[in-house]
Amino acid sequence: MPGRRRPAIPSRGDDLLRERITQEAARIMAEEGVHDFAAAKRKAAVRLNQAENRHLPSNREIESALADYLRLFHARELPDTVRHLLEVALDAMRLLAPFEPRLTGPLLNGVATSYSEVPLQVFPDDPEQIALHLREYGIPFEQDTRRLRFGGDRQDTFPVFRFMAGDTTLEICVLPPSGLREAPLSPVDARPMKRAALKEVERLVQNTKTLLPGG
């Protein structure tokens, strides 16, 4: 059609810049405690004097680069970090067992830093049950909300409870019981989130022990 512009074809320079932003965002997440992909991308772009959004990598690219970075620069402590966070998750899941807890996030793929939070999903009949349950055990918490996406471009906002276990933050996202049948979409690849029940997390803890000296 006359006047119609063809989409720009990325140049070699664009590809290199995208790769630099990817690597810097991964480093920021590993070393500076940034958990959010979008925040890490923006911070990396600013440091590289790049403000154009067209060069920003996908979340999946950054997660892959983060996994590579951790294996390269934190290989010695990575198994111990993963095991510790899985054990924190397991303790919390046992506490929340009446609400069918599920572990989500990169920890399930062995991707974790000392700054990582532990994300869980629970499925009570009423979100207030979680607040009452935590108060019953004397656990101080903060409340927030999180917006999640589902298939068919559906989105919804859910309550979130955050509390500390030692130096680790747990984020408990409260979904209705129907959420057990339909997982939200992952912010990494837009596919249904990988989720692990208590028994599977117990197996993961045992498996990580074999990676440690004396395991």
Distance CA 88, CA 57 (A): 31
Q: Report pLDDT for 215.
A: 43
Phi, psi of 87 (to 5 degrees): -65, -40
Q: Verify that 21 and 114 share a domain, yes or no.
A: no
Q: How many Cβ atoms from other residues are within 10 Å of residue 148's Cβ?
A: 19
Domain with 115, as residue range(s), is 78-209
Confidence of residue 214 (pLDDT cuts 50, 70, 90): very low
Tell me the mean pLDDT in the region 127-153: 96
Which class for 32: exposed (0-12), middle (13-18), buried (19 or more C-beta within 10 A)? exposed
Q: Report pLDDT for 50.
A: 83
For residue 7, pLDDT over 60 is answered with no
Q: Verify that 119 and 31 share a domain, yes or no.
A: no
Q: Verify that 96 and 192 share a domain, yes or no.
A: yes
Tell me the mean pLDDT in the region 111-127: 95
Q: Verify that 39 and 95 share a domain, yes or no.
A: no
Alpha helices in the chain (DSSP H): 12-31, 37-47, 59-73, 78-95, 128-136, 198-209
Q: Report pLDDT for 56.
A: 87
The mean of the pLDDT values for the chain is 90
Q: Verify that 59 and 19 share a domain, yes or no.
A: yes
Tokens of 142: 């903060």
Distance CA 91, CA 85 (A): 10
Q: The whole model's pTM is what? A: 0.85
Q: Report pLDDT for 82.
A: 93
Which class for 113: exposed (0-12), middle (13-18), buried (19 or more C-beta within 10 A)? buried
Helices and strands, number each (H, E), in the chain: 6, 5
For residue 5, pLDDT over 70 is answered with no
Order of strands, edge to edge, in the sheet holding 102-103?
Answer: 102-103, 118-122, 168-174, 154-165, 142-150
% of the chain exceeding 90 in pLDDT = 77
pLDDT digits (tens, 9 = 90+) for 58-111: 999 999 999 999 999 999 999 999 999 999 999 999 999 999 999 999 999 889
Tell me the mean pLDDT in the region 28-34: 93
Tokens of 162: 């955050």
Tell me the mean pLDDT in the region 3-21: 69
Confidence of residue 212 (pLDDT cuts 50, 70, 90): very low
Whether 3 is in a domain gets the answer: no
Whether 5 is in a domain gets the answer: no
pLDDT digits (tens, 9 = 90+) for 141-186: 999 999 999 988 899 999 999 999 999 999 999 999 999 999 999 9
Q: Verify that 25 and 112 share a domain, yes or no.
A: no
Q: Verify that 65 and 110 share a domain, yes or no.
A: no
Q: Verify that 92 and 180 share a domain, yes or no.
A: yes
Q: Domain ends where: 25, 43, 73?
A: 73
Question: Count of residues for the chain?
Answer: 215
Q: Verify that 96 and 201 share a domain, yes or no.
A: yes
Q: Report pLDDT for 211.
A: 45
For residue 121, pLDDT over 50 is answered with yes
Give the number of domains in the chain. Answer: 2
